[in-house]
């Protein structure tokens, strides 16, 4: 959705997540006479107390290979809650970055070693060229 909004308004992409996301161009096909939408509920949301629709074949992921953004969660909500305890999520950008980033890395990357130093690359320049490699 973010990628599509940015495309419509001509806003540059912030990074790899929005720059490599698939645009929702099918939604804007003006030749369609009608269409429907069935939400797909990621498995990780089933471990929360959110009010979700009942599990059906239509809103479950039958073949995860066709849904790049919906990967199998490595951890449940309790794992994430324990590792993010003490963080202030009441205000944006008010996290203790050091104690937040290491568990985030571990939770997303598994046993890949956490980087000890920054590589120093300036990714603000040539964004279109950098993003092109990931599209």
Model pLDDT for residues 61-83, shown as the tens digit of each residue: 554 444 444 456 788 889 989 99
Q: Once rounded to an integer, what is the mean pLDDT over residues 45-50?
A: 86
| Reported confidence tier of residue 59, pLDDT bands at 50, 70, 90 | low
Answer yes or no: is 44 within a domain: no
Reported as a single tens digit per residue, the pLDDT across 95-114 is 888 888 889 888 888 888 88
Q: Which domain holds residue 102?
A: 75-109
Are 2 and 116 in contact by the 8 Å Cβ rule? The answer is no
For the beta carbon of residue 48, count every other beta carbon within 10 angstroms: 12
Query: Does residue 13 belong to any structural domain of this protein?
Result: no
**How many structural domains is the chain composed of?**
1
pLDDT digits 0-9 by tens, 11-33: 888 887 888 888 887 777 777 77
Confidence of residue 88 (pLDDT cuts 50, 70, 90): confident
Phi, psi of 20 (to 5 degrees): -105, 0
**Which region holds residue 108: left if phi is over 0, alpha if psi is between -120 and 50, else beta?**
alpha
Is 127 within a domain? no
pTM of this prediction exceeds 0.75: no
Cα 15 to Cα 1: distance, rounded to the nearest angstrom: 15
Residue 39 DSSP code: -
Any domain includes 97 = yes
- With 70 as the cut, is the pLDDT of residue 9 above it? yes
- pLDDT at residue 131, as a whole number: 78
> How is residue 58 written in tokens?
């239509």
Query: Quick count: other Cβ atoms within 10 Å of Cβ 4?
Result: 16
Q: Which two tokens stand for residue 115?
A: 């980087």
Residue 86 lies in a domain: yes
| Mean pLDDT (the chain, rounded) | 79
Rounded to whole angstroms, the Cα distance separating 11 from 91 reads: 25
CA end-to-end span of the chain:
17
Q: Does residue 27 lie in a domain region? A: no
Radius of gyration for the alpha carbons in the chain, expressed in angstroms and rounded: 19
């Amino acid at each position: 959705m973010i990628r599509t909004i940015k495309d419509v308004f001509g806003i540059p992409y912030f990074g790899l997540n929005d720059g490599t996301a698939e645009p929702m161009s099918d939604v804007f096909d003006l030749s369609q006479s009608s269409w429907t939408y069935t939400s797909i509920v990621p498995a990780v949301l089933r471990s929360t107390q959110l009010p979700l629709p009942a599990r059906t074949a239509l809103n479950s992921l039958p073949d995860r290979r066709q849904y790049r953004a919906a990967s199998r969660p490595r951890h449940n909500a309790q794992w994430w809650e324990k590792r993010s305890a003490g963080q202030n999520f009441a205000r944006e950008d008010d996290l203790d970055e050091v104690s937040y980033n290491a568990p985030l890395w571990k939770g997303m990357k598994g046993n890949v070693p956490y980087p000890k130093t920054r590589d120093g690359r300036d990714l603000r320049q040539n964004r279109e060229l950098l993003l092109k490699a990931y599209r």
